Amino acid sequence: MSTQDSQIHSYERDPYLRDLQVDIIRIGEEDGRPFAVLDDTILYPEGGGQPADHGWLDEVRIVDVQRVEQTIRHYLESPLPAGPARLSLDWERRYDHMQQHTAQHVLTAIAADRFGWQTTSFHLGERSCDIEVDAAALSETDLRALEEATMETIQAGLPVGGRRVSPEEYAQLDVRTRGLPEGHCGDIRLVEVQGTDLNTCGGTHVRSTAEIGSIKLLRTEPMRGGTRLHWVAAGRVRRRLAEHESRTDALRGLFETSAEELVSAATTRLDELKDAMRRMRAFESSLIDQAAEGLAARGDGVVEAHFKGMDGAFLQKIARRFADSAGSRIALLTAASDKGNFFVLAAGEDCPIDVGVAGPELAEILGGRGGGSGQFFQGKAGSLEKRGAALAFLQEQLV
230 & 142 share domain: yes
Q: pLDDT tens, 220-275?
A: 999 989 999 999 999 999 999 999 999 999 999 999 999 999 999 999 999 999 99
- Sign of the four-CA dihedral 21, 27, 29, 34: positive
26 & 69 share domain: yes
221 & 308 share domain: no
13 & 48 share domain: yes
Helix residue ranges, H only, the chain: 3-6, 10-13, 91-115, 140-155, 167-172, 235-255, 262-296, 312-324, 355-365, 387-398
Q: pLDDT tens, 175-220?
A: 988 777 676 778 999 999 999 999 999 999 999 999 999 999 999 9
Residue 200 contacts residue 190 (beta carbons within 8 Å): yes
Which residue, of 33, 62, 89, is where some domain finishes? 89
Q: What is the pLDDT of residue 4?
A: 44
Which residue, of 192, 221, 242, is where some domain finishes? 242
Return mean pLDDT, the chain.
Answer: 93
164 & 108 share domain: yes
347 & 377 share domain: yes
104 & 83 share domain: no
Phi then psi for residue 296, to 5 deg, are -65, -25
Q: How many domains is the chain built from?
A: 3
DSSP bridge pairs for 211: none
Q: Name the residue range of residue 37's domain.
A: 3-89
Q: Which residue has the higher pLDDT, 292 or 96?
A: 96
The whole-number average pLDDT for the span 17-37 is 96
Q: Of the segments 93-97, 254-258, 359-363, 368-372, which one has the largest average pLDDT value?
A: 93-97
Q: pLDDT tens, 96-146?
A: 999 999 999 999 999 999 999 999 999 999 999 999 999 999 999 999 999
Q: What is the pLDDT of residue 178?
A: 76
Task: Kindly give the pairing relationship between strand 188-193 and strand 197-200.
Answer: antiparallel
85 & 163 share domain: no
What's the whole-model pTM score? 0.76
Identify the CATH number of the domain in which residue 78 sits.
2.40.30.130
